[in-house]
Amino acid sequence: MATDSSFSPARAAEGPNAHRFSFHGSGGSLFGIQIVNLFLTLVTLGIYSFWGRVKVRKYMMSQSDFEGDRFAYHGTGKELLIGWLKAIVIIGVSIVALMLLSAGALVYVVFAVFMPVAVVNARRYRLSRTSWRGIRFSFRGEVMDFFKISIMGWLLTAVTLGIAYPIWQNWRQEFLVSHAYFGNRRFDYDGNGKDLLWSYVLNILLSLPTFGICWVWYWARVQRYYSEHTRFGGGNFHSTVTGGGLFGLMFGNLILLIITLGLAWSWVLVRNARFFLGHLYLDGPLETAEIMQEAQAANATGDALSGFFDLDFDLG
Partner 1 sequence: MQLDWQAFYLDGRSAVRRPATVQLQPSALRIVIDGGDTVYWPYESIEQTQGSYTGEQVRLERGAASAETLLLSDHGFLAALHQFAPARAGRFHNPARRLARIRLTILAGVVSVILVVLAYLYGIPALATAVTPWVPIAWEESLGALAVDHLAAPESRCADPARQRILDDLITRLSAAVPKSPYKIRVLVVDNPTMNALAAPGGYIVVFRGLIDAARTPEELAGVLAHELQHVLRRHSTRLLLQHVSTGLLMAALFSDASGLASFGLDAAQNLALLRYSRSHETEADEEGLRTLIAAGIDPIGMVSFFKTLQQKEGREPRYLAYLSSHPNTLERIDRLKSLIAQTPAARTKPLAPETLTELRMICPALPRKEKTPTN
**Residues found near partner 1 in the complex (CB under 8 A):** 24-25, 29, 32, 34-36, 38-43, 45-46, 49, 53, 56, 58-59, 62-63, 69-70, 72, 132-136, 182-183, 254, 257, 261-262, 265, 288-289, 291-293, 295, 310
Q: What does the alpha-carbon distance between residue 210 and residue 147 come to, in Å, rounded to a whole number? A: 35
Closest CB to partner 1 among residues 38, 155: 38
Rounded to a whole number of angstroms, the minimum distance from the CB of residue 80 to partner 1 is 11
Single-letter amino acid code for the residue at 115? M
The distance of closest approach from Cβ of residue 250 to partner 1 in the complex, given in angstroms and rounded to an integer, is 11
Q: Angle at the Cα of 178 (from 174 to 180), degrees rounded to 5?
A: 125
CA dihedral 1, 221, 176, 295 (to 10 degrees): -50
Q: Any idea what the Cα angle at residue 214 is, between residues 208 and 215, rounded to 5°?
A: 105
Closest separation between CB of residue 150 and partner 1, Å?
Answer: 23
Query: What does the alpha-carbon distance between residue 193 and residue 214 come to, in Å, rounded to a whole number?
Result: 19
Minimal distance in Å, beta carbon 301 to partner 1?
Answer: 18
37 vs 121 by CB, closer to partner 1: 37
Choose between 3 and 293: whose C-beta lies nearer to partner 1: 293
Residue (of 186, 168, 185) closest to 177 by Cα position: 186
CA angle 132, 268, 249 (to 5 degrees): 100
CA angle 111, 121, 78 (to 5 degrees): 105
The residue (of 14 and 67) whose beta carbon lies closer to partner 1 is 67
Largest CA distance in the chain: 65
Amino acid in the structure at residue 60: M
Strands 130-132 and 69-73: antiparallel
- Nearest approach in angstroms of CB 30 to partner 1 is 10
In 10 A of CB 75, how many CB atoms?
A: 22
How far apart are CB 199 and partner 1 at their closest, in Å? Answer: 25
In the complex with partner 1, the residue whose CB is nearer, 59 or 114, is 59
**For residues 129 and 229, which CB has a smaller minimum distance to partner 1 in the complex?**
129
CB nearer to partner 1: give 105 or 289: 289
Shortest approach of partner 1 to residue 219 CB, angstroms? 16
